[in-house]
C-alpha cells in the first residue's frame, strides 16, 4: 500500500471521463487499498476518487468519521431527492470552498470489492460525498456547479475536503 500525491488543478487527469472497471482483479484491490490509505492519511479527507491519484478508472472511496468506509466500483446515482445549498471543498482544488446546490438525499449503486452489487441510500455529508466523488469520475469538479466564480472563497487548509 502507498499514500499517493493528490492531483490538483490544472492536472488533466481531473478532467477525463474515467473508464469502467471490467474485472475486479488484484490490481483493482491494490488500487482500493492505496486509495483508502491516501484518504486516511489526513483526517480532513472524507472521500477520494481514483482520478485524483491519476488513475482513470471508476472507483471511489468514502470515509465519513465514525462510519464504515464505503468502496464503490462503477458507481452511479440512481435516485436524487430534494435540493439544498451547501458549502463544498475538494482536495484537488486546495484552499477554496464554494456554495453549490446538491440533492438532499441520494441513492447510489455500484459494486463492492467482491463484485457484489450494493445500494447506498444517504443524506447529509454522505449524500454530498457520493455526488462529489461520482462527479470526479465524469471529469467534473464542484466548481463546475458554481453559479459564478465569485461564489468561490479562500479557506484555511484544515477544513473538510472531498
Give the footprint of Zn ion on this chain (CB under 5 A).
90, 162
Which neighbouring-strand residues pair with 19? 57
H or E element, residue 85 = strand 84-88
Residue 110 CB, shortest distance to Zn ion, in Å, is: 17
The active-site residue out of 66, 133, 156, 159 is 133
- Give Rg (Cα) of the chain: 15
Residue nearest to Zn ion as judged by C-beta position: 90
Residue 116 CB, shortest distance to Zn ion, in Å, is: 26
**117-123, strands of its sheet edge to edge:** 47-49, 59-62, 70-81, 105-111, 117-123
> What is the spatial distance between Cα 62 and Cα 129, in angstroms, rounded to a whole number?
7
Residue 2 CB, shortest distance to Zn ion, in Å, is: 20
> What is the spatial distance between Cα 97 and Cα 91, in angstroms, rounded to a whole number?
10
Residue 89 CB, shortest distance to Zn ion, in Å, is: 8
Q: Which of 156, 124, 121, 128 lies closest to 44, judged by CA? A: 156
- Respond yes or no: is residue 83 known to be catalytic: no
Catalytic residue numbers, as ranges: 133
Amino acid at each position: 500500500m502507498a499514500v499517493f500525491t493528490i492531483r490538483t488543478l490544472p492536472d488533466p487527469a481531473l478532467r477525463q471521463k474515467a473508464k469502467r472497471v471490467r474485472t475486479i482483479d488484484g490490481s483493482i484491490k491494490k488500487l482500493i487499498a492505496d486509495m483508502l490509505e491516501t484518504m486516511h492519511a489526513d483526517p480532513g479527507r472524507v472521500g477520494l476518487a481514483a482520478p485524483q491519484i491519476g488513475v482513470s478508472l471508476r472507483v471511489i472511496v468514502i470515509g465519513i468519521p465514525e462510519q464504515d468506509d464505503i468502496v464503490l466500483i462503477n458507481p452511479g446515482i440512481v435516485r436524487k431527492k430534494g435540493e439544498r445549498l451547501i458549502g463544498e471543498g475538494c482536495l484537488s482544488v486546495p484552499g477554496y470552498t464554494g456554495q453549490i446546490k446538491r440533492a438532499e438525499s441520494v441513492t447510489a449503486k455500484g459494486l463492492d470489492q467482491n463484485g457484489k452489487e450494493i445500494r447506498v441510500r444517504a443524506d447529509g455529508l454522505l449524500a454530498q460525498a457520493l455526488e462529489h466523488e461520482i462527479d470526479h469520475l465524469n471529469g467534473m469538479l464542484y466548481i463546475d456547479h458554481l453559479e459564478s466564480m465569485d461564489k468561490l472563497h479562500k479557506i484555511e487548509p484544515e477544513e473538510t475536503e472531498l
